[in-house]
Amino acid sequence: MNHQPVDATTATSPLPMVSVVVPIYNGEADLPELINCLLSQTYPKDRLEYLLVDNNSSDRTLTILKTSAVNCPITIRPLSENQIQSSYAARNTGIRAAVSEIIVFTDADCRPQPQWLDALIQPFVNKEVVIVAGEILPLPGTTLLEQHADREETLSQKHTLNHAFRPYGQTANLAIRRIALEKAGLFRPYLTTGGDADICWRILGENIGRLEFAPNAIVQHRHRATLKELQSQWRRYGRSNRYLHELHGVDLMREITLKECGYRLARWLLKEVPRDIKKALTQPGAGIVSQATLVNLLNTPIGLFTARARTAGQQDSKLPENAKIIDRL
């Protein structure tokens, strides 16, 4: 899946124009750090535009966007999507306004690293490449839930790139050629989750081109720090499974029953906890149980909690009829 090396003739060609689309809903707190990350990009500023799309926020997001665009050393174009409350509708608004041959996507709560765009755009020297996914790494976290997610690499693109149906990249770090969007269509504007898989699968299913992974194109994202946030995240994953099952016929995820949870929790308490504590205390320098050991001890109950949340999301959802609509350029 690694991209092809750059040949001498292509390397001397002008770098492509790039449009970066960011949907934003109530992102007032995230905008200062996001804009600092955009300012730090090493990709030539005269080949870039940033389309920051307010999705009917109730805070000062749009005002901050307009203020930031004035006298800014990078090209920021504030846009609004007020008709449909959906990040995919907001992304479509950005795509339609974009002037570039390559459209890049990230989110307001993501933190792109300075070399992000350089690394993300490089695989496009191969004309067969129409989608590039960069890597998503966690911002430093201190809670047990954040450290558990870090250990499981929950955010990493390696999970989506190895999907059993077809690979796809998450829109937190994704780039698509405009020509692929012209042929396969834009995001489904009324879809609320799963749109990144859907658009990649439509493009790949029509054999427009191929997808590449750019591991050095890094954005950082914060893991969920509370049980409520974690439950919401995994219920959304469950809804996404259901929607993609209805749209593409992919298999549903195996559902975890309460009976299975009870059995696995009993086994955890009676077998895994004593074993792991004994192992931790017999290691050189062992004393008070460390936070890393606690993360390891809690792996089973946290995993069951997220699995049950995903099951609930999958069981309780049904694809809305209007979510089947595909926008076109």
Would you say the C-alpha torsion 28, 29, 34, 39 has a positive or negative sign?
Answer: positive
Given a cut of 70, whether residue 11 has pLDDT beyond it is: no
Tokens representing residue 235 in the block:
């219920």
Q: Regarding predicted confidence, which is higher, 10 or 33?
A: 33
Higher pLDDT, 290 or 260: 260
Gap between the terminal Cα atoms of the chain: 29
Question: In sequence order, what E strands does 193-302 have?
Answer: 210-221
H-run or E-run covering 245 = helix 227-248
Mind listing the pLDDT tens digit for each residue in 166-191? 999 999 999 999 999 999 999 999 99
CB atoms inside a 10 Å sphere around CB 235: 21
Is the pLDDT score of 315 beyond 60? yes
Q: Is 13 exposed, middle or buried (0-12, 13-18, 19+ CB in 10 A)?
A: exposed
**Which DSSP state fits 123?**
G
For residue 154, is pLDDT > 90? no
Of 23-32, 94-103, 133-142, minimum mean pLDDT range: 133-142
Question: CATH no. for residue 192?
Answer: 3.90.550.10
322 inside domain? no
The pLDDT value recorded for residue 9 is 32
Indicate whether 240 belongs to any domain: no
Tell me if 162 is assigned to some domain.
Answer: yes
* Residue 297 located in a structural domain: no
CB 74 within 8 A of CB 102: no
Query: Do 55 and 26 meet the contact criterion of CB atoms below 8 Å apart?
Result: no
Domain residue limits at 92: 18-225
Number of residues that this document lists for the chain? 329
In a domain, residue 319? The reply is: no
Q: How confident is the model at residue 298 (pLDDT cuts 50, 70, 90)?
A: confident
What was the pLDDT predicted at 296?
82
Contacts 24+ apart (CB under 8 A), 33-39: 33/111, 34/108, 34/109, 34/110, 34/111, 35/68, 35/76, 37/111, 37/112, 37/113, 38/74, 38/76, 38/112, 39/73, 39/74
Q: Is 123 within 8 Å of 133 (Cβ atoms)?
A: no
Residue 150 confidence (pLDDT) above 90:
no
Using the predicted structure, report yes or no on whether residue 286 has a pLDDT greater than 60: no
**Higher pLDDT, residue 288 or 250:** 250
What's the rounded Cα separation, in Å, for the pair 239 and 217? 28
Instruction: Match 């306004």 to its residue by tokens.
Output: 97
Q: How many other CB atoms are there within 10 angstroms of residue 233's CB atom?
A: 17
Let me know: does 34 contact 110? Beta carbons within 8 Å.
yes
pLDDT band at 282 (very low <50, low <70, confident <90, very high): confident
What pLDDT is stored for residue 54 in this prediction?
Answer: 97
For the chain, give the percent of residues with pLDDT over 90.
78
Whether 121 and 18 have beta carbons less than 8 Å apart is answered as yes
Residue 142 has pLDDT above 50, yes or no: yes
Give the type of residue at 51. L
Following DSSP, what letter does each residue of 46-96 receive, concatenated?
GGEEEEEEE-S-SSSHHHHHHHHHTT-SS-EEEEE--SS--HHHHHHHHHH
Q: What sign has the CA pseudo-torsion 47, 62, 132, 137?
A: positive
Collapsing DSSP states into helix, strand and coil, what is residue 210? Answer: strand
Report whether pLDDT(27) > 50: yes
pLDDT digits (tens, 9 = 90+) for 228-275: 999 999 999 999 999 999 999 999 999 999 999 999 999 999 988 888
Is 59 inside any structural domain?
Answer: yes
pTM for this structure? 0.89
- Look at the chain and report how many structural domains it folds into: 1
User: Using 50, 70 and 90 to split pLDDT, how confident is the model at 311?
Assistant: very high
Least confident stretch, 12-26, 112-126, 174-188, 237-251: 12-26
Write the single-letter amino acid at 280: A
- The CA R_g of the chain, rounded to the nearest whole Å, is 21
Quick check: is 258 in a domain? no
| Domain contains 316 | no
Indicate the pLDDT class of residue 120, thresholds 50, 70 and 90. very high
Cβ atoms within 10 A of the Cβ of 319, count?
A: 18
Confidence of residue 291 (pLDDT cuts 50, 70, 90): low
Residue 13 is predicted with a pLDDT of 56
| pLDDT tens for each residue of 48-104 | 999 999 999 999 999 999 999 998 999 999 999 999 999 999 999 999 999 999 999
